[in-house]
Each structure stands twice: as structure tokens, then as C-alpha cells.
Amino acid sequence: MLKINGNTLTIPQVVAVTRHGERVELTAQAIENIRRARGWVEEIVAAGEPVYGVNTGFGIFADRRISAQDSAKLSRNLILSHAVGTGEPLPEEVVRAAMLIRANTLAIGHSGTRLVIVETLLEMLNKGVTPIIPSQGSLGSSGDLAPLSHLALVFTTDAKDREEESGQALYKGRKMSGKAAMEAAGIPRVALQAKEGLAINNGATFSAAIAALAIHDAENLLHVSEISLAMSLEALVGVRAAFDPRLHAARHHPGQIAVAESIRRLTEGSTLIDTTDRVQDAYSLRCGPQIQGPAQETLEFVKKITEREINAATDNPLLFGPKTAISGGNFHGEAIGMAMDYLSIAFSEIGGVSERRVFRMTDANLNLDLPPMLVDTPQAAGLNSGMMMPQYTAASLVLENKALASPDSVHSLPTSAEQEDHNANAMTAARHARDVIRNTTHILAIELYTAARALDIRLRDHPERQMGVGTGAAHAKIRAEVPYQAGDALWGPEIERVRELVRRGEFGVRSVETS
């Protein structure tokens, strides 16, 4: 059972809840903090002094006073009017991550919701009610207003309790109205009160949810990219000198040093490396640490940003004591938007250099006496196409990643009659980063598959040689899943099976901490 308090949520815990169904509850301190902040809201309502979002309109209408008797209607109207997202639904795991992060945000005790709001979110998580949320329509400033409003539709209501205003949700594998899903799970829906609508939908929570899951998957890919580099290095009978620790220590970059160390460890005992008279390899092999090391350091930085964000109070205003409500901009998603742009760039490069190694292994002019396109024998070329098309697929995904990695956070359009004149575009950045990670997973699977085939052919022709301890173990894992086939075959499903090994973390994960 995970206990959340608003301050200590980690990315592995987000993954445990969203992908593995770990249950969640509040700590006693979190309950106390929520109740205290709610008391402050009630004092503000009773006093009647204007406080943004409590008894005023929103955005451009911040100067419009709202009576105390209309405060609940104000919250309900906010949710109804802002649930205008579009596009394909977000994956269930992203929605569950957002629910957990939003509950954690409210548990800090600066937002002023009642305890029942947070407990309802957690009960939905624990019982498996997952709102269906459109993936497009958020600028990530004033947070993810549309996605969070679609989330709120499912578990909130009003006196009319219209089913058509309850959104949609998944429950036990079935799609139904939000009202029906909550009834089936035995969870009462909640009528919002003062400030609660704004507390629920104000913050870059879906952006942070996508970021947290993308970072978890990216950590896995870092280690896989080292394995694929090491396997390609051996398949192309590369030169060990480029990974000498003295060389990397002279440049001081910890990510570069760590990648070089990983390659040395993976290739320990290899008698394929250093078997030619070449003094150096092409950049995609020789500069692997210099290319993949920065991605590790970028990921470490992005992870720190995201773990701060999933433990942040992000609505507006925030409450800090009796009659102390401070208006600001913690909802602005710039931090997550920039971080996801960095992640996209880093892993676009991981995929790009991986594809270059696939290309070298398939080109008979570059692969050092391996058959063209890695057909079984040179005589089979023509009748068989070998690894020609997997390289096409890798190249296509690399080109797509280049477009996806174009920074989103530098693009802004004003909204709300120029009141919100600089927006973060954070959720688009996060969605694109997730796509880059997915594409890079497939590119690395293609490299692993191609390198395994190249090693089979190389060792068949030179049976006296052997792979390193790490590369040999990775090769054995691949071959246990997909045996070598001499002639052309339906490669696609086999590559998908290797991709699934990667996705499940079957090759292990090395920590990204470099400092």
C-alpha cells in the first residue's frame, strides 16, 4: 500500500500504481493538511473579501465578483465549460498517473479542497475506474485545464446529476458513462463547493503524468542502447581503444564515462573486438559514449524536474493560512514542457545513432566481410533481402523522431483575451516525448535483432572467437525468443518480440544517477 503525503511521491511509485495496480491511501498528516486548508477556504467565503477563483470569475473574468451562494455553481460551471478536449483517448496508464499526481498535489494542503475530493480520486484508482480523457486540447498553462476537467466530469456532479454531463470512463474493461462507472464501482460522486473546481483542473498534471511514465521507460532504454552498441561493436569487429577509461576521464562528463564503462563491462572477454588492423571506427561506434552519455545526463536532469513537479502545489491561488490566499502562476507548465523537449532531443539522438549502426551492419561496403543485408550467405543475396527492410523501418522512425523532437515549449499563442499571453505547450511536448521514446524502443529492438544476426554469421565463419560476457547474455536472451533463420522470413513479428523484451525491461536497467 502506497501512502502519499504530497511531498515524497517518486516515479517508480507512479509506475507501481498505474501499471501494477498498487493501492493508495493518504497519510494522517496529509489528511490534517487537507482539512486545515479547507478551513481557510471557508473563512474566506464567510469574510466575503475578493479572492481569485474562490469568489471571482476566472481568467479574463477575474474582476467579476461571485456571491457566496453561487460559489458551488462557479466550480461546476468551470468544469463543464472547460471539458472541451479532442483527439484520441489517452492511455489508461497516463490517466491513472494523472489521478495519482493530482491527489498528491491536493494532499500538500495548499489547495483548499475537502477531504472527500482526494479520497474519491484514490478510491477510483483503487477500484479501477479510469476516466476517458481526450489527448488534445491542453496548452499546459493554467495547467492541463481541458484534460483535468474531463477527469472531474466523471467523479463530480450537481443537483441535476445529468448522465450526459458525467463524461465517460472504463470500468472492468467496459466503456460507459462516468455516472454509470462510479455507480458500478460503488463510489459516490461529489458535488463541488467553493474553489474545488479550480483546485482540480489547475495545473500541468497530465503533462507531468506523461513525463513520469516516459522517464521510466527512457531509463530502461539507456541500458538497452548500451547493449545494442556493444553487440554492434562486436558484430563489426570494432576497436576497444575508444572506450579506454583514461580517454573519457580526460573529458570529465559523467554520462560519457558511465557509458564507456558499461561497454567495457558488456564486452569483457570478447575475442571479436580488436581482430583487425583498424585503429579507429566510424563515429556511430567510436563516439557512442560521447553521443549516448549526454542523453543519460539529460535524463537525470529531466527526472529531477519531473519528481519535483509531481510533488508540487500547482493550482491558483494557493492557501498559506487564515485569510492568506496568494495568486501566482504555479500552474504554468514551462518546466515540464522544456524538460520534455530535452528528453525528446536526447532520445531522438539515441535512436539516430542506433539506426546508423544498423545501416553499417547491412551495407556490404561497411560491415567488414559480412554478407550484404545480412543474408545468410553472399550467394543468397537477391533471392533473399535479409535485413534490408528493418533498416528502412528504423530510418523512418528516426526521421519521425527528428520532427517530434523539434521543441514545443518555444511555441506560444495567447489565450483568454491576452490575460494568458504566454503559454507553455507542455502537454504537446510531453506527448511528443512519449512518441519519441516509443519509436526509439522499436529502433533499438531492430538494432538488437540485426546485431544478433550479424554475430551469428560472424561466429559461424569464425567459430574460434567469442562474444563478451554481457553481449553473450543479451544474444542468448534474444535467441531464446527468436531463433536464427537462414532465409527470408516474416521478420516483423520477431522484431516485435524483441521489442517486447525491451519494453518489459528483460535486459535490465542501469541507474541514470551520474553525480
DSSP conformation letters of 46-60:
HH----TTTSB--GG
Query: Rounded to an integer, what distance in angstroms lies between the CA atom of residue 507 and that of residue 294?
Result: 21
| Percent of residues in the chain assigned helix, strand, coil, to nearest 5 | 60, 10, 35
71 SS3 class: helix
The one catalytic residue among 52, 171, 342, 449: 52
174 SS3 class: strand
**Is 342 an annotated catalytic residue?**
no
Of 11, 112, 95, the closest CA to residue 52 belongs to 112
What grid cell was written down for 365?
Answer: 561496403
Of 201, 208, 133, 108, the closest CA to residue 424 belongs to 208
What grid cell was written down for 358?
Answer: 544498423
187 SS3 class: coil
CA angle 290, 293, 299 (to 5 degrees): 145
Strands (E), 19-133: 24-26, 86-89, 129-131
Residue 281 dihedral angles phi and psi, to the nearest 5°: -105, 175
Residues in CB range of 347: below 8 A, 6 or more apart: 218, 221, 295, 401, 433, 436, 437, 440
Of 70, 471, 51, 498, the closest CA to residue 273 belongs to 471
Which residues are part of the catalytic machinery?
52
